[in-house]
Amino acid sequence: MTVSFTFTPGKTCGAARTGEIRMPRGVIRTPAFMPVGTAATVKAMYPDQVKALGADVVLGNTYHLMLRPGAERVAALGGLHKFMNWPYPILTDSGGFQVMSLAQLRKIDENGVTFQSHLDGSTHVLTPERSIEIQGLLGSDIQMQLDECVRLPCPEAVAEKAMRLSLRWAERCKIAFGTQPERALFGIVQGGEVPRLRIESARELVNMGLDGYAIGGLAVGEPQHVMLAMIETVMPYLPEGKPRYLMGVGTPDDIVEAVRRGIDMFDCVMPTRAGRHGLAYTRFGRINLRNARHADDPRPLDPESKCPASNTYSRAYLHHLVKAGEILGMMLLTWNNLAYYQDLMAGLRRAIAEDRLDDFIAETRAGWARGESDGEVATS
């Protein structure tokens, strides 16, 4: 029997909630953090390591994969799951954000986006229909509509134009996606930092009857209070029975506050990127292993962590690897960071189920504060 895509909300604690997304390739426990596998790999990690840390789903990037190695090639090789040796759920973004941020000489019109590849300058056209086609060729389990994402702050007229174009593209994506009970299509709420635009976007997307709803266009440089205000604005208009995904977020503190407001899903390059640049996320906040103060420190990053990268290697050794530019340093710190993020999500799920979310958040922040008092950087 084919398993259809379903979302079942679970326990609640205030606005926060647990839940389960079920689909043929597995169950996603929410709130969930999705490690980012931009080019069919979570950088510096083996797939079995990622799964062992507790990740139920990873994110792949339509823009990068369409340019290299190509969606048709991946399909001919058996699809993205087989290609990257990840037999569990995969969410693919639509490529819209990367087109806006990476592509050269882009032109946006009603049809879609014409752009030049950042790899070789070749010209490509990404329409809503082509985005869905690419995601279908990749074989992803959760697919995102093509949208126009604008940088904040921006004039209200610019945010409104992009929001309305994104709604029209969402309609076209839904038609192109068709009926696929085993997969899901998510819409993306846009509207900048203008409440009326966010509300209109959410209402119109919900009327389309999509499988889930993301909040996009945040974590693009705006202060945290703006991001949280937009979440609070949108949440009353999103259905209880569908997953809610905050795209591109973020820091542990951002995640904690968004979970408190009812968000179910997150993704961010932060833990993997930080690991490649000598930064460790821990119960004690961020630890900068480039700092000379760690050169003679025999302590591990966190002796209580179950992750070998966190409890086995000394800070002195990690400092040495980072300063020497050794690949192993990047691998170990990425491993540690993803372990911390997955442990944080597991802790949030337990706290919600036990109706003690506020206490858990207070304890978590107290740990960050201890690290800060010891000369480390708070996790914000």
Three-state DSSP state, 291: coil
Task: Answer yes or no: is 96 a known binding residue.
Answer: yes
Task: Answer yes or no: is 217 a known binding residue.
Answer: yes
Q: Which two tokens stand for residue 340?
A: 């911390």
Place of tokens 């398993």: 3
Q: What are phi and psi of 359, to 5 degrees?
A: -65, -40
Place of tokens 């206490």: 359
323 CB-near residues (< 8 Å, 6+ apart): 290
Task: Answer yes or no: is 95 a known binding residue.
Answer: yes
| 358 assigned to active site | no
**What are the helix (H) ranges across the chain?**
47-52, 62-67, 71-76, 80-83, 96-102, 128-138, 156-177, 195-207, 224-234, 252-260, 270-276, 308-311, 315-324, 327-353, 357-373
- Which of 211, 254, 264, 267 does the annotation list as catalytic? 267
Task: Answer yes or no: is 141 a known binding residue.
Answer: no
| 302 assigned to active site | no
- Which of 93, 141, 211, 343 does the annotation list as catalytic? 93
> DSSP code of 314?
B
DSSP assignments along 114-174, one per residue: EEE-TTT--EEEE-HHHHHHHHHHHT-SEEE-------SS--HHHHHHHHHHHHHHHHHHH
Burial classification of residue 167, based on how many CB atoms lie within 10 Å of its CB (0-12 exposed, 13-18 middle, 19 or more buried): buried
CB 135 within 8 A of CB 149: no
Task: Answer yes or no: is 94 a known binding residue.
Answer: yes
Whether the link from the prior residue into 153 is cis, omega within 30° of 0, is yes
Task: Answer yes or no: is 115 a known binding residue.
Answer: no
Q: List beta partners, residue 287.
A: 280
How many CB atoms are located within 10 Å of the residue 72 CB?
12
d(CA 193, CA 188): 15
Residues belonging to the binding site for substrate are 93-97, 147, 190, 217
Q: Residues forming the annotated binding site?
A: 93-97, 147, 190, 217
Q: Annotated active-site positions, please? A: 93, 267
